[in-house]
A and B are shown apart, each in its own frame.
Chain A
Amino acid sequence: MRHAAFAILLVLSAFLTSGCRSGSSGLDVRYPEAGANRAMLAFVAPRRIEVSAVTDRRMDMSRIGYKPKSRANIVTARPVTDIVREALAVELNTNGHTVVADTRDAVLVAAVEEFWLDVVVGYSTTQYVGKVAIALAVADGRSGDTLVTRRYVGIKRRQADADTESAWREVMDAALARTMHDLATDPEVVAALGRVPSTGPPR
């Protein structure tokens, strides 16, 4: 009996912590490497940067939205924390930095505060509003001192004829990309990374 209860608990917790996979494959939201550019983050000499595990601070961690008619959950194929962590790594790599697990010059500590898609059905079109909010701290890799804290909010609004999964994904991709572009052009983050000395061998 206890084994059965434990097994049910295990299945339920896996289901909840994934924050996704509720019967459908989920949206493959991502920040594609091809869409990333070298921006102001590349003005800093290459740094070894650890992207620590991203925290999920969303109010509702079980979904990223719901379908307007059926109210069925809209979910992502991967946990949103993984999506954001990967996006941060893509942006840093594109800008000439190395994402590392040790001997780091700086640490990025990120939390997902919102990752949500609203679908508003109109008379002839459907409006999609995707919102991604990320809290970010840049810390010195050796002392651990926080150098700067920032918050980025990316919102994408789009009208489309039909309620399609591709429109959902495109809106969320664009909202995520806007947060990454804001990060890559943020002079405060650039200045903070510029202040940490490089520990690694020259690249």
Chain B
Amino acid sequence: MRVTVPAWGLVRVREGEPDLLSAFADVRAQMVLRGTGVVVWEDNEDVTNPERLPLEAFTKDREFTRHELTEVLERAGQRLASELLYARGAGR
């Protein structure tokens, strides 16, 4: 399984006073047969944390920001796993 993370960080998800941001990760996965290199499954997922907070919440607390950024990667892993299982059910 090849997993890549082309983009990862914070994204503005709601306009307002103040704007609200969430941690996000764009991830790509490929399941490749060893030897032949044939790709048997691939998926791209945009993953966004449900928490929406002002920029200040992230800039003021580095530990919290680290936690949010780590959590969104974990969420991305779960999302990929969920879609892999779902696709396998269809024989894809």
Do they bind each other?
yes
Chain A residues near B (Cβ < 8 Å) = 37-40, 42, 68, 118, 120-121, 127, 129, 131, 133, 153, 155-158, 178, 181-182, 184-185
Q: Which of B14, B46, B82 contacts A182 (CB 8 A)?
A: B82
Cβ-closest chain A residue relative to B85: A185
Q: Is the CB of A185 within 8 A of B86?
A: yes
Q: Does B6 contact A (CB under 8 A)?
A: no
Q: Does B47 contact A (CB under 8 A)?
A: yes
List, in ascending order, chain B residues with CB within 8 A of A129's CB.
13-14, 48
Residue pairs across A and B with CB atoms within 8 Å: the count is 55
Q: Is the CB of A185 within 8 A of B48?
A: no
CA distance A194 to B42 in the complex (A): 30
List, in ascending order, chain A residues with CB within 8 A of B11's CB.
127, 157
Cβ-closest chain B residue relative to A184: B86
| Contact status of A38 and B79, CB under 8 A, knowing A118-B13, A129-B13 | no
| Contact status of A120 and B13, CB under 8 A, knowing A155-B47, A157-B46 | yes
Cβ-closest chain A residue relative to B84: A185
| Contact status of A120 and B12, CB under 8 A, knowing A155-B50, A157-B24, A182-B82 | yes
Cβ-closest chain A residue relative to B14: A118
List, in ascending order, chain B residues with CB within 8 A of A121's CB.
15
A-B contact pairs, 12 of them (CB 8 A): A37-B90, A38-B89, A39-B90, A68-B15, A118-B15, A129-B48, A131-B50, A153-B50, A157-B11, A157-B48, A184-B89, A185-B82
